[in-house]
Amino acid sequence: MDVLLDPLSIVLETWEKLGEVEKRVLSTLATRIYAGQRRYGKLEYDKKAWTWEATEEALDQSVYLACELLNATEESKRKYATEVNGTDVGEPGV
């Protein structure tokens, strides 16, 4: 069956076969799509340079993930230093 011909049937049929995590992922995507629709209007295949749009989004995502990783690394260092030495990372002796 062609997904473009009957997307609701495909979603409903597939939904029953998904696990709870997959359902949460799909629900999150649907929520984001709807939020984008409210903000920018309905998606149209030929109205954007989708490859460029995706590239910009991927670059932004890389920045966000790097910041989160650096933050988590700093928190881990502080926790380790406190557990091992009883001091914070910024304190002398660490």
Question: Is a pLDDT exceeding 90 seen at residue 5?
Answer: no
CA separation (Å) from 93 to 8, 31, 52, 77? Answer: 62, 49, 49, 14
pTM, to two decimals: 0.58
pLDDT digits (tens, 9 = 90+) for 49-58: 999 999 999 9
Q: Please answer whether residues 94 and 87 qualify as being in contact, where contact means their C-beta atoms are separated by less than 8 angstroms.
A: yes
Locate 31 and state its tokens: 């929520």
Residue type for position 85: N
pLDDT digits (tens, 9 = 90+) for 61-85: 999 999 999 998 888 888 877 888 7
